[in-house]
Amino acid sequence: MWRILALVLSAAVVNVTATTSSPLDGLYALVQRRLPDHASSFTFQLTEGEGDSYIISDTPAKHHGITVECTTVSACARGLYAYLTDFGGVDIWWTGSRLDRLPRELPVIGDPVHGAAIVPYRYHFNTVTFDYTAAFWTVEQWELELDWLALRGVNLPLAWVGYEYILIEVFREAGLSDTDISSFLSGPAFQAWNRFGNIQGSWGGELPMQWVNDQFALQKQILARMTELGMTPVLPAFTGFVPRAMSTVHSNASIVNGSQWAPGFPPSLTNVSFLEPFDPLFATLQKSFIAKQQEAYGANISHIYTLDQYNENNPFSGNLSYLSSISEGTFTSLRAADPDAVWMLQGWLFFSSEAFWTNERIEAYLGGVPTNDSMIVLDLYSEAQPQWNRTSSYFGKQWVWCELHDYGGTIGLEGNLDAITTGPIAALNSPGSSMKGMGLTMEGQEGNEIVYDLLLDQAWSSSPINIASYVKGWVSRRYLVEPLPSAAQEAWRILSTTVYNNQDPNSQSTIKNIYELEPVLTGLVNRTGILPTVIPYDTNSTIVPALQLLVKAKAQNAALSTVPEFVHDVVDVSRQLLSNRFIDAYTALIDTYNNTNVTSDAVIRAGQPLMTILSQLDALLATNENFLLSSWIAQARNLSHGDESYAAYLEYNARNQITLWGPDGEINDYASKAWAGLISTYYAARWQTFIDYLASTKRLARPFDTSAFSNQMILLGQEWDVQIWGEGPGEHWGVSGENVWGLVDQILETWA
């Protein structure tokens, strides 16, 4: 079985590399990109064998050359990574590649080193990552991402970019007008939820064809790079979500009205029409979609398709035969269009709507797909809310152990390193397990990089990785200075055993910073669930000493101040300290306000520490390019080809996603970010308004009107969303140039 799976995953290489001399050319190109000084030092050889495995050895014919023998291109990439990290001591990060720091004289291996994946699938991406993180990515950003994925052994990445181009062509062929279609499609920062059938239409203006065409061209570049690096992209398929006009154009088609998605969304923007898969029109549109996709990208680029019909939307009926007919019709349409099709399904629905998705209904739905190897289920939240165990390993269907993290791209330190090392191994070895993969399904790809590195590395170890030794090696590669002060290692020992040892499944996902949320009198602190604000550790014995140790490490070796990853981490830990102290300041403000004997002046004084923290936060984050609102907005605007009206449209999408998430705050603050510029121009304004409002109720002896204040906050958000970059106070395009070390010293002096 494993050999068959390996052949399926390698199929993409055949199509794309037909014009090149070797399937390994992509790896040689990666070496040229990332290790130009060692471009001729590495040799790759494909060999016969089961699964994904590699052997690394010294090359006798070359002076300090390295040979990587492998059974697949992906295994060769992982073998190269094993050498670079274990022997070369270098790595590639989201903040940039440091592989070029590999010693000029390559370290000798000695005895050959063997490695093998414990699962055939190593998966990456959540559908929503394409909006929360990658909505406005350039080719260069994708290039770094794909090199990062390939070296870590990922061979099954999701590939959504450019989907709308194919879909529009299918809808046109089905008789819909461009007006019909444009009323259905959503804006660039919200396309994931349109693809899920959660929303339809746009509140920022119609989706421009310039965007559609540019993304289609970008997808071609992404797919070419994925395949040359030994990955099999998971491609979109036709899901069944259609514009409302489809019911008029095809009046006999079986089309049902979907359920409202998030509370508060007006029906015009949700309740998406769904063409039921047992209707003949569904198969027609599916065949059209896949045929056009194959023509655009290549017939054998992949046979694995992502297709989610009930993500946070329940089926029209819970009848078992109905559910079975839906999945049967869907799969039949896939196989009619592609005889080798495999259906990939995000398993989030089975947790998010657990009351509907009883085991009986799950079995009926999955049972509509005839064979177990014809479907792959992503167990999306395995680290905290696994569903594989309650469903008897998805009733035999292939499934992937996934980590769901970083809701909405929230920036906050959190993780459970123990769960992502012991959990997958226990699941893989459980009786009757049909687990075939491990992967990352984070909503946003921001921060907490150690969490994601560890899970992908665990996919190449048959026993749980020793966390203490792993963290030590990870820190050495990340900071890459000699000597590395022991203080840096101690800082991460503390973080890894406390902040990254969150054992509470009710607060696992990433801790939300309360200053990013709409101010309220109650219910803001110690929340658990989807957007937890509870701090599951003692700040004084974790964040404070960790930050002090990082600063001490820099004093012991000044070279650390030039390492981008070290500076990023110091800013990030300092950010977390201020974020946690904001909770204390907020609690003190509310306690003051609830004292019936205090005056409005006392409330104003109690609110001052909150504003001080926000000011310090903004100044701190403004020193680092990874924490800038301007980076997000600039990415959006830079895709406009110099068209100012188009740039404004893209900027509105970028702004609205991280604030109101809807025209009227339907998912307010879900995708909020700890970014300089956003704090100074938006969060600070909201909190100052809150403090002033509290004081006014004391002065005028009137109660706090929650509804009126919330409406005021929505109006403030709507005004902020339509601003054009550069008009607001304190906005800037780049880093501030302030001395980060002076700011950190000040933060420690004030808040440690």
Rounded to an integer, the average pLDDT of 532-556 is: 97
* Residue 479 belongs to some domain of the structure: no
Of 193, 204, 89, 91, the C-alpha closest to 636 is 204
The CATH number linked to 405 is 3.20.20.80
For residues 590-624, one letter each, b for 16 or more C-beta atoms within 10 angstroms of the residue's C-beta and e for the rest, the string is bebbeeeebebeebbebbebbebbbebbbbbbbbb
Residue 258 pLDDT exceeds 90:
no
Which of 116, 141, 173 represents a domain boundary (last residue)? 116
Residue 263, φ and ψ in degrees, nearest 5 = -60, 135
What pLDDT sits at residue 665? 96
Percent of all residues in the chain with a pLDDT value above 90, rounded to a whole number: 92
Shared domain for 552 and 445, answered yes or no, is no
Pick the closest to residue 690 from 716, 664, 671 (CA basis): 716
Q: Which two tokens stand for residue 118?
A: 């414990």
Is residue 220 over pLDDT 50? yes
- Collapse the DSSP code of 689 into the 3-class scheme (helix H, G, I; strand E, B; otherwise coil) and give the result: helix
Which range marks the domain in which residue 713 is found? 488-751
Q: CA 419, CA 403: separation in Å to the nearest integer?
A: 10
398-403 vs 435-440, strand pairing mode:
parallel
φ, ψ of residue 340 to 5 degrees: the values are: -105, 15
Does the pLDDT at position 305 exceed 70?
yes
Q: Is the pLDDT of residue 706 over 90?
A: yes
Asked if residue 733 has pLDDT above 90, the reply is no
- Cβ(109)–Cβ(87) under 8 Å? yes
pLDDT at 14 exceeding the cut of 70: no
HEC states along 645-666? HHHHHHHHHHHHHHCCCCCCCC
CATH number for the domain harbouring residue 112? 3.30.379.10
User: Does residue 495 lie in a domain region?
Assistant: yes
State the helix-helix crossing angle for 600-621 and 564-594, rounded to 10 degrees.
170
Of 290, 118, 253, 234, which Cα lies nearest the Cα of 175?
253
Between helix 280-297 and helix 209-228 the angle, nearest 10°, is 70
Measure the CA dihedral 429/432/436/440, to 10°.
-70
What span, in angstroms and rounded, lies between the C-alpha atoms of 229 and 218? 17
Q: Identify the band that residue 62 occupies on the pLDDT scale cut at 50, 70 and 90.
A: low
For residues 542 and 550, the answer to whether their CB atoms sit within 8 Å is no
> Distance of alpha carbon 517 from its chain centroid, rounded?
21
Is the Cα dihedral 136, 140, 141, 146 positive or negative? positive
Contact partners, residue 437, CB within 8 Å, separation at least 6 = 119, 120, 121, 122, 123, 156, 376, 398, 399, 400, 401, 459
Residue 181 CA from chain centroid, whole number: 28
Instruction: Enumerate helices (H) and strands (E) in the chain, giving the number of each.
Output: 28, 17
Please report the DSSP string for 12-77 in residue order. Answer: HHHHHGGGSS-TTHHHHHHHHHH-GGGTTSEEEEE---SSSEEEEEEETTSTTEEEEEESSHHHHH
Q: Which amino acid is at 70?
A: C
DSSP state of 256: E
Q: What's the domain count of the chain?
A: 3
Residue that the structure tokens 């046109």 belong to: 172
The residues facing 401 across adjacent strands are 379, 438
Please enumerate, as own/partner, the contacts of 192-195 that have beta carbons within 8 Å and a separation of 24 or more: 192/127, 192/128, 192/130, 192/131, 192/160, 193/128, 193/131, 193/261, 194/241, 195/127, 195/160, 195/163, 195/236, 195/239, 195/241
Whether 744 and 677 map to the same domain: the answer is yes
Is residue 483 one of the residues assigned to a domain?
no
Shared domain for 553 and 603, answered yes or no, is yes
Which residue has better confidence, 259 or 661? 661
Q: How many CA atoms lie within 13 A of 552 on its CB side?
A: 13
pLDDT at 15 over 50: no
The DSSP bridge pattern shows strands 375-379 and 398-403 to be parallel
Mean pLDDT of the chain: 95
Backbone angles phi, psi at 177, to 5 degrees: -85, 165
Asked if residue 268 and residue 289 are part of one domain, the reply reads yes
pLDDT number for residue 3: 41
**Do 514 and 441 have their domain in common?**
no
**pLDDT tens-place string over residues 584-608:** 999 999 999 999 999 999 999 999 9
Question: In sequence order, which residues have a C-beta less than 8 Å from that of residue 522 and are 6 or more positions away?
Answer: 590
Do the domain assignments include residue 478? no
Is 481 a member of any domain?
Answer: no
Q: Are residues 233 and 98 in the same domain?
A: no
User: Is 615 among the domain residues?
Assistant: yes
Task: Compute the average pLDDT of residues 202-219.
Answer: 97
Report the pLDDT averaged over residues 726-749: 82
- In this structure, of 179-183, 494-498, 733-737, the range with the lowest mean pLDDT score is 733-737
From 502, 298, 511, 469, select the one nearest 383 (Cα to Cα).
502
pLDDT band at 134 (very low <50, low <70, confident <90, very high): very high
Same domain, 318 and 412: yes
**Residue 406's closest CA among 449, 439, 367?**
449
Average pLDDT over residues 437-453: 97
We report the CATH number of the domain holding residue 534 as: 1.20.120.670
Distances (CA, A) of 76 to 13, 55, 216, 683: 14, 9, 30, 47
SS3 727: coil
Give yes or no for a contact between 462 and 31, defined as CB atoms under 8 angstroms apart.
Answer: no
Closest to 24 in 3D by CA, of 68, 82, 64, 89: 68
Cut 0.85: pTM above it: yes
Q: What values do phi and psi take at 103, rounded to 5?
A: -55, 140
Please tell me whether residues 150 and 109 are part of one structural domain: no
- Residues 685 and 726 reside in one and the same domain: yes
pLDDT top residue among 507 and 225: 225
Kindly give, in sequence order, each residue whose CB lies less than 8 Å from that of residue 68, ignoring residues fewer than 6 positions away. 42, 43, 44, 45, 54, 55, 56, 76, 79, 80, 83
Which of 72, 87, 116 is the last residue in one of the domains?
Answer: 116
| 125, 112: one domain | no
How far apart CA 725 and CA 647 sit, in angstroms, is: 10
The CA distances from residue 423 to 122, 146, 217, in Å, are: 16, 26, 39
Residue of 428, 433, 440 lying closest to 380 (CA atoms): 440
In a domain, 480, yes or no: no
Q: Are residues 151 and 268 in the same domain?
A: yes
Rg (C-alpha) for the chain, rounded Å, is 26
Torsion angles phi and psi, residue 671, rounded to 5: -105, 30
Q: What local confidence, expressed as pLDDT, does residue 728 receive?
A: 54
336 and 188 part of one domain: yes
Asked if 505 contacts 536 with a C-beta cutoff of 8 angstroms, the reply is no
Q: Is the peptide bond before 483 cis (omega within 30 degrees of 0)?
A: yes
Assigned domain for 477 exists: no
**535, 511 contact by CB (below 8 A):** yes
- pLDDT at site 20: 47
Last residue of one domain, picked from the residues 71, 89, 116: 116
**DSSP 8-state code for residue 106:** P
Exposure letters 719-744 (e unless 16+ CB within 10 A, then b): ebbebebeeeeebbeebbeeebeebb
Helix, strand or coil for residue 718?
A: helix
pLDDT in tens, 276-295: 999 999 999 999 999 999 99
Q: With a cut of 70, say whether residue 662 has pLDDT above it.
A: yes
Question: Do the beta carbons of residue 510 and residue 405 sit within 8 Å?
Answer: yes
Confidence category of residue 510, pLDDT binned at 50, 70, 90: confident
Distance separating alpha carbons of residues 441 and 149, to the nearest angstrom: 13
Whether 123 and 438 have beta carbons less than 8 Å apart is answered as: yes
Q: Given a cut of 80, is residue 275 above it in pLDDT?
A: yes
Closest CA to 388 of 331, 352, 428, 342: 428
